Amino acid sequence: MATPPAPPAITGFERVETPAGPAWIREIRYDPGYRHGGRRIGDLGDICPNALEFLVLDKCSGSAELLFLDTETTGLGGAGTHVFLVGTARLVGAGLLLTQYFLPGPGQEAALLYELRRRWLPSAWLVTYNGKAFDWPLLSDRFVMNAQVPPAIAGHLDLLYWSRRFFGRCLENCSLTSLEQRVLETFRSGDIPGHLIPAAYFEYLRHKDVHALQPVFQHNLHDILSLVALSCEFAAYVTGRQRPPFPGPAELGLARAYEERGLNELAGECYRRALEAGLSSHLEVWALRRLGFLEKRLGEVEQARAAFAAAVDASDHDPVACTELAKYLEHHARDYREAARVVLRALSGPAGRTEPWRTRLRHRLARLERKQERGASASSRP
Amino acid sequence: MNLLQILDTLEHDPAFRERVAHWEKIPARPARLVPFPDWLDPRLVAGLEARGITSLYTHQEQALGAAAGGRHTMVVTPTASGKTLCYNLPVLHSILDDPASRALYIFPTKALAQDQVSELTELIGEMGTDIKAFTYDGDTPASARKAIRSVGHIVVTNPDMLHTAILPHHTRWVKLFGNLKYVVIDETHQYRGVFGSHFANVLRRLCRICRFYGSNPVFICCSATVANPAELAFGLIGEPVVLVDDNGAPSAAKDFIFYNPPVVNAELGIRRSSVLEACSLAERFLRAGVQTIVFARARTTVELLVTYLRRALGKDPDRVRGYRGGYLPRERRAIEKGLRQGDVLAVASTNALELGIDIGALDVSIMAGYPGTIASAWQQAGRAGRRLGRSVAILVGSSSPLDQFLMTQPGYFFGRRPEHGLLNPDNLYILTSHLKCAAFELPFAVDEEFGVPTTRSILDFLAAEGILHQSGDRYYWMTDTFPAEEISLRSAAAENFVIIDREKSARVIGEVDRFSAPLLIHEEAIYIHEGNQYHVDHLDYEAKKAYVRPVEVDYYTDANLAVSVEVLEQFQAEGNRAYGEVTVRALVTMFKKIKLFTHENAGSGPVRLPEEQMHTSAYWLALDAGVTAGMGTEEIQSGLAGLAHLLSVVAPLFAMCDYRDLRVVPQVRAPYTGLPTVFLYDAYPGGVGLSERLYHLHYQLLEAARALLGGCRCADGCPACVGPPGEVGRQARQAATLIIDGCLKGREHERPDPAAARTHEGGRCPGGDPTRASGHHRV
C-alpha cells in the first residue's frame, strides 16, 4: 500500500480523486478456493452461458460479464432515499473482486456515482436480489438526481424471482437470509438487521464515527457473497448438475421453467421426481394435472390418462382433472357411462365453483347421456 | 305536461305563489363567436370542425391567446361554457408544434379526471394524430404506469396522487418534468380552506421540481365564479395571472325560484321541512317525466330523499338514485351513465355532483336548503339547463337562520358577489409538512425560499429534530420515512372506516371518514345507503370497520356531539376578545332515534367511543361584568348560547370558508377566562388562519349577528336566529341582544382595525348574475 489517505479517513476505505470530488472505495479479493457456505468462489466459473440464458430467458452475448450488485440505503424508495453504500462484485481471473463504494455524506454523491460509473463493466449483466424492484431503480434515481445518466446494463438477473419459483412453496419467506440458512447453509454472526441499517447511517452522520457502520459494511459483503453462491446454486439446478433441496416443491418450480422454454421431456422428469418426493395434496393434484397436459401435448394418451386419473383420485372432484379424464373416456375409450360418472363426480364438488365450469360440465353430461341412450337403442335394435 | 306547462301552472297557482319569496327570471344570452385564430394548428382546427365546432366563444379565444403567449391564465365562466377548450386548445397546439411537449392536468377528483380523458381522446381521435392522454391515479394498473410516465403527452391526475405518488418519485418522470409546458388546474374554486392551503404547497413543490429539470410551465386555471379569482389563483400558484371572465357562451333562459315552506309553528319559527317540501316539488316534475336533481346538504338527507322519492314514484326504483361520497366508484359511474342516457329520472345528491362530472343536461335543480355558499348555490343551479331550452332552479329554504335570511333578503344572493376563495398556504403546520416533502424530493439550499422568508429557520428546526441533515450549504432528507404518506390533503384524518354488510357475504358497501364515524356509524345507528337502511351491529374502532345488516325500521338516528375547549396559549388580545392556541376534545355521547316523515323523537341511547382530540387555533369572546351587568345566571346562559348560535351562522360568511371548517362552542364559565365565553375554532389541527381573521373582524361579526337578530320576526328567539328555544333557553333572544349591544359599546374605545377595513365588502356587482360574466375586459 502507498501512503495512507489524507484525512478525514474512513477506516478501510481508500480515497479516490474524481472530477466531482473524492470518492471512498474499498476492494476485497477472494481467491477461487474461498468458501461461502457449501459453495466455492471458483464454482462461479462453472456458470455456462446456457445456464445464464436459461435463467434470464434472454440471449446473452459471449462478452457478457456478471456484475453482482447490492446497495444499502436510508429508506424504502423515493427521491429522498439515499444510497450510502454500493457493493459490486465481478470475476477477475478465477477469483472474485468485490468493491464497496461508501458515501461519507449526502453532498458527496456525485463523486461516488462518478467512480461507480467509471469502473462499470461495459456489458454488465446485473445480478441482484430484488434489484429489479429496488436496488437498480433506486440507484438509477440517484444518477438522475445528480444530473447524470445511469450506466448501461446488458441484462438483469434478479435471483428473488428464482427463489420464489423454487422455494416459494416450501419456505416461510424468500428473504435472502432465509435462503442462506435453508439452502446455502451459511450463517451470519453479529449481523445487523436490515431495518436498523438506516438508523446506523444517521448515527454515523451525526457523530462521524465510522465504527458504527462496520456491521453494515460486513452485512453488504455477506449479501454479495450470498448472491454469488446463490447464482452458482441456481445454475446447477437448471443444468441438472445438482438437484434442489426440498425436492417436491422446488422441482415443481423447475418443471414450470422447463415447460415455459419448451423443454417438455425435462419438465416431465421434474414433475415425476416432485411427485415421488411427496407433495401436499393440493400441490399433488396441481402437479398431476400439469403432467397430464404435458403428456397430452407429447401425444402420450395413456400416460396422460394415468395422470388425470390419479389427479381425480387425489382430489375426488377437481373439475379440470375430471373434465380431462371424461374427455379421454368419451373420445378414446368410448366408455360414456364411466365418462358420465366422472362428470357427475366433478359436479358433486363443493358449491361456489365458478359458474362457467359447472355449465360446461352440465353440457358435457347431457351429451354423454344422449350418447348413452343412442348406444342403448342401437344395441337393442334387432 | 312538459316543463313549460308545469312552470305555467306553478305561476298561476296562488298557493305556490304565496310561498315564493323571490322569482328571478334570467334571460337567455346569445353566443358571442369569433373565428379560430389563423396561427392555430390546422390539424387541431380540422379535429374541432369534425366535432362540429367551427368557431370559438370569445372567452375561449382570449384564454387561448393568453396561455399560448406564455402567461398564466385564470378562466372564470359558468358551468357548460366550454371551459375545457380554454386549456385543451393551447395544450394540444403546443404538443402538435413540438411532440416533446408535456402537460399535466389536475382535477380535484378521480371521476373528473376520467371524464376529461375520454373527452380529450375523442378530440385527439378526430385530429388523427398520435397524442397520448392518460389518467394516472390510484386506479391505474401498475403495468401501465411505466409507459404513461415516459410516453404520456398529457397526464391527468388529482392533487393527492401528485402529492404522494408523482412528486416524491419525480426521478421516474424526467420526460414529463423536463418538458412540462402547461399545468392545468380545473375546478380551482375547490381549492380553498384547508384543502387549498395544502394544494398551494403541493404546487410549490411541483414548481421546485420543474426548476430542477429546467422547465417553467404556464398554469391555466379554471374556476366557477368566486369573488376573487385572480387572488385565489395567485395564492395557489404564487404568480400573477391573466383573468378571463367575460363569458361568450350562450345560456338558456332560467327561472330561479326562492321557495319558503309554510310556517308550522310561528312561535318557534319552524317551517315545514325543506326536505319534505323539496321532495313534493320534485314529485311534480318527476310525474311529468322531467329529469330532476335534488341537492341536500347531508349524506343522510340524500338517503332520506331517495327513500321518499322512491315511495312517491312507486314502480321501478332504479329510476331514482342517490349520489354522494361513500359510494363505490363503479356504482357512481353507473349512476352518471344512467343520468346521461335518461334511464335515471331523479337523482338526490350531496355537493358531490356540484363538480363538473358529466351527467348531461338536466331540466330542474332543486336545493333542499341553502348549500352554504353562494358559489355552491350557483353551481348546483347550473346543473339544470345547459345551453338551450328553459330550465328551473328552486332553492327551498330550511328553517335555518341563514336560509331565512336569504329568503327575506334575496337581493343579498342575486346582487352580491359570491364568496372569496381563501387559503393560507403559509399555515405553519401545513407549510412545515410540505417543506418536509419538498426536502425529501430535492435537497434545500441554505438560501432557498419555500413560500416564506423564514424557510431557513424551519429547516434548522427540522435539522435539530434529526429529520434533515445539513451538509455544506444544503439540507438533506435524512430519515427512513416517506413524508407524503403521513399528510392527507383533504382532512386531518387520513383513514376511513369501511362499512361491511354482514348478510351479503361481508360486502363493503361504503366508507366514512374518521371524524364522521362516531356520528354516523356508532353501534345501534341506522346507516342509510342507496335508500336502504342498515343497523350497525358492531363497530370495531381499532380495525376501522363497522358491521351492519339490512333492516327496515321507521326511524333514523342522529348523534349528539359534546365538545370542550381548553386554552393553551393566548397570542393576541384586545378588550374582551382574544385568539390563541387551544385543545379541542370532541366526544359523541348519545344518539336519538327520530321517526321518518314526522321527525318525532322516538327514543335514545348512549354512544361509547373514544374522544377525538386536536390542537388548533381559536378566537374567543369573553363577556366581562360590564357586558353582563344586571343579567341573571340563567339569562346569561341563554344569551351566550344564542350568541354562539348567531356567530356560527354569520362567521362562515365573513371568514368565507366552508361552514365545516369552523366550529363554535359556548362555555358558561371558561376555565381560562373565568367568564362566560364563546369559542370559534378552526376545525383543523394547527388551524388555517380562520380564527385569526375572525379576531380582526370582531365588530363586523357582532354587527352581522345583530342584523340577523333584528331581521328575525320571532318573539322570543327561534332556530332562525338564536337557536331552538328548547336548547338555548327562553330568554335567549333578548339576552343575546343585550350581550351584543354590550360588546359593541366596547368599540368606541378602540381605534379602527385596518385588517377589518381591508376585508370589508363593497357592493361592486349590483344586480348582476355572478355566473355570468362581470362584463369587464381584463385580458
pLDDT tens digit string along A261-290? 888 888 999 999 988 888 888 888 999 999
Within 146-175 of A, beta carbons closer than 8 Å to B belong to none
> What are the pLDDT digits (tens) for B370-391?
887 777 888 888 888 755 678 8
pLDDT of residue B724: 64
pLDDT of residue B778: 33
Q: According to DSSP H, which parts of B267-373 are helical?
A: 274-287, 299-313, 329-341
Tell me, yes or no, if A140 comes closer than 8 A to chain B by beta carbon.
Answer: yes
pLDDT of residue A201: 96
Give A198→chain B minimum CA distance, Å: 6
Give A330→chain B minimum CA distance, Å: 39
pLDDT of residue B414: 80
User: Is the per-residue pLDDT at B488 higher than 80?
Assistant: no
> What are the pLDDT digits (tens) for A297-320?
988 889 999 999 999 888 877 888
Closest Cβ opposite residue B474 in set A107, A145, A205:
A107
Closest Cβ opposite residue B480 in set A75, A107, A141:
A75
Do B469 and A82 lie within an 8 Å CB cutoff? no
What is the pTM (predicted TM-score) of this model? 0.79
CA–CA distance, A342 with A365 (Å, rounded to integer): 9
Q: Count how many pairs of residues, chain A against chain B, have C-beta atoms within 8 Å.
A: 63
> What are the pLDDT digits (tens) for A23-58?
999 999 999 999 998 888 888 877 777 777 788 766
Q: Tell me which chain B residues have a C-beta less than 8 angstroms from the C-beta of A81.
A: 480
Closest Cβ opposite residue B171 in set A106, A107, A144:
A144
pLDDT of residue B165: 94
> What are the pLDDT digits (tens) for A328-347?
998 888 889 999 898 888 88
Do B170 and A79 lie within an 8 Å CB cutoff? yes
Tell me, yes or no, if A375 comes closer than 8 A to chain B by beta carbon.
Answer: no
Residue A131 binned pLDDT confidence (cut-offs 50, 70, 90): very high
Residue B129 binned pLDDT confidence (cut-offs 50, 70, 90): confident
Average pLDDT over residues B752-772: 35
User: Is the per-residue pLDDT at B594 higher than 50?
Assistant: yes
Whose grid coordinates read 380523458? B117
Average pLDDT over residues B48-76: 95
Average pLDDT over residues B610-624: 87
Closest Cβ opposite residue A145 in set B171, B474, B478:
B171
Q: Which residue has the higher pLDDT, A352 or A339?
A: A339
Look at A346-355, B100-109, B143-152, B761-770 and tell me which has the smallest mean pLDDT.
B761-770
pLDDT of residue B779: 33
CA–CA distance, A93 with A113 (Å, rounded to integer): 26
Give the CA distances from residue B536 to residues B325, B560, B562, in Å, rounded to whole numbers and listed in that order: 19, 17, 21
Give A223→chain B minimum CA distance, Å: 21
Q: Tell me which chain A residues have a C-beta less than 8 angstroms from the C-beta of B469.
A: 105-106, 202, 205
Percent of chain B with pLDDT over 70: 87
Tell me, yes or no, if A48 comes closer than 8 A to chain B by beta carbon.
Answer: no
Tell me, yes or no, if A190 comes closer than 8 A to chain B by beta carbon.
Answer: no
Average pLDDT over residues B146-152: 91
Percent of chain B with pLDDT over 90: 37
Highest average pLDDT, of A105-114, B331-340, B757-766, comes from A105-114
User: Is the per-residue pLDDT at B418 higher than 70?
Assistant: no
Instruction: Please name the residue of chain B whose CA is at the shortest distance from the CA of residue A73.
Output: B480
CA–CA distance, B741 with B768 (Å, rounded to integer): 34
User: Is the per-residue pLDDT at B112 higher than 70?
Assistant: yes
Q: Which residues are CB-contacts of B168 (< 8 A; sequence separation ≥ 6)?
A: A78, A79, A80, B437, B440, B441, B482, B483, B484
> What are the pLDDT digits (tens) for B552-576?
888 888 887 788 899 998 999 988 8
CB B563 within 8 A of CB B518: no
pLDDT of residue B509: 79
Q: Tell me which chain A residues have a C-beta less than 8 angstroms from the C-beta of B475.
A: none
Edge to edge, what strands does the sheet with B532-540 contain?
B507-513, B496-501, B545-551, B532-540, B526-529
User: Is the per-residue pLDDT at A71 higher than 70?
Assistant: yes
CA–CA distance, B126 with B132 (Å, rounded to integer): 13
pLDDT of residue B464: 94
> What are the pLDDT digits (tens) for B435-445?
999 999 999 99
User: Is the per-residue pLDDT at B774 higher than 60?
Assistant: no
Q: Tell me which chain B residues have a C-beta less than 8 angstroms from the C-beta of A199.
A: 480
Test the B interface: residue of A73, A81, A142 with most B CBs within 10 Å = A81
Highest average pLDDT, of A349-353, B281-285, B354-358, B593-597, comes from B281-285
User: Is the per-residue pLDDT at B260 higher than 90?
Assistant: yes
pLDDT of residue B453: 93
Do A106 and B442 lie within an 8 Å CB cutoff? no
CA–CA distance, B396 with B380 (Å, rounded to integer): 13
> What are the pLDDT digits (tens) for B645-673?
888 877 876 666 666 678 888 998 899 99
Average pLDDT over residues B30-37: 94
Average pLDDT over residues B16-30: 91
Closest Cβ opposite residue A80 in set B441, B466, B474:
B441
pLDDT of residue B759: 34
pLDDT of residue A7: 43
CA–CA distance, B157 with B135 (Å, rounded to integer): 6
- The identity of residue B555, as a single letter, is Y
pLDDT of residue A4: 36
* Parallel, antiparallel or unpaired: strands B545-551 and B555-574: unpaired
Give A233→chain B minimum CA distance, Å: 31
In this structure, how many other beta carbons lie within 10 angstroms of the beta carbon of residue A214? 14
Average pLDDT over residues B193-200: 87
Do A107 and B482 lie within an 8 Å CB cutoff? no
- The identity of residue B450, as a single letter, is F
> How high does pLDDT run on average in chain B?
84
Look at A137-141, A245-249, B468-472 and tell me which has the smallest mean pLDDT.
A245-249
Closest Cβ opposite residue B441 in set A79, A137, A198:
A79
User: Is the per-residue pLDDT at B592 higher than 70?
Assistant: yes
Tell me, yes or no, if A105 comes closer than 8 A to chain B by beta carbon.
Answer: yes
CA–CA distance, B283 with B294 (Å, rounded to integer): 11
Residue B601 binned pLDDT confidence (cut-offs 50, 70, 90): confident
Instruction: Please name the residue of chain B whose CA is at the shortest distance from the CA of residue A150.
Output: B171
Give the CA distances from residue B345 to residues B5, B313, B698, in Å, rounded to whole numbers and listed in that order: 18, 11, 47
pLDDT of residue B492: 47
pLDDT of residue B445: 96
pLDDT of residue B263: 83
Average pLDDT over residues B140-167: 92
Average pLDDT over residues A186-201: 91
- The identity of residue B171, as a single letter, is T
Do A79 and B171 lie within an 8 Å CB cutoff? yes
Give A108→chain B minimum CA distance, Å: 9
Closest Cβ opposite residue A202 in set B440, B443, B478:
B478
Tell me, yes or no, if A202 comes closer than 8 A to chain B by beta carbon.
Answer: yes
Do B474 and A199 lie within an 8 Å CB cutoff? no
User: Is the per-residue pLDDT at A2 higher than 50?
Assistant: no
> How high does pLDDT run on average in chain A?
87
> What are the pLDDT digits (tens) for B215-241?
999 999 998 877 778 988 999 999 999
Give A273→chain B minimum CA distance, Å: 36
Instruction: Please name the residue of chain B whose CA is at the shortest distance from the CA of residue A202.
Output: B478
| Cell triple for B541 | 374502532
What's the gap between Cα B88 and its chain centre? 25
> What are the pLDDT digits (tens) for B82-111?
889 999 999 999 999 999 999 999 998 777
User: Is the per-residue pLDDT at B270 higher than 80?
Assistant: no
Helix H or strand E encompassing B234: helix B229-237
3-state secondary structure (DSSP) of residue B348: strand
CB B205 within 8 A of CB B438: yes
Beta strands in A103-229 (DSSP E): 124-128, 155-158
pLDDT of residue A63: 64
Do A78 and B168 lie within an 8 Å CB cutoff? yes
Do B171 and A76 lie within an 8 Å CB cutoff? no
Highest average pLDDT, of A164-178, B370-384, B719-733, comes from A164-178
Tell me, yes or no, if A299 comes closer than 8 A to chain B by beta carbon.
Answer: no
Give A78→chain B minimum CA distance, Å: 5
Q: Tell me which chain A residues have a C-beta less than 8 angstroms from the C-beta of B442.
A: 79, 145
pLDDT of residue B758: 35
Average pLDDT over residues B306-328: 83
Q: Tell me which chain B residues have a C-beta less than 8 angstroms from the C-beta of A107.
A: 471-472, 474, 476
CB B248 within 8 A of CB B60: yes
CA–CA distance, A113 with A103 (Å, rounded to integer): 10
Percent of chain A with pLDDT over 70: 93
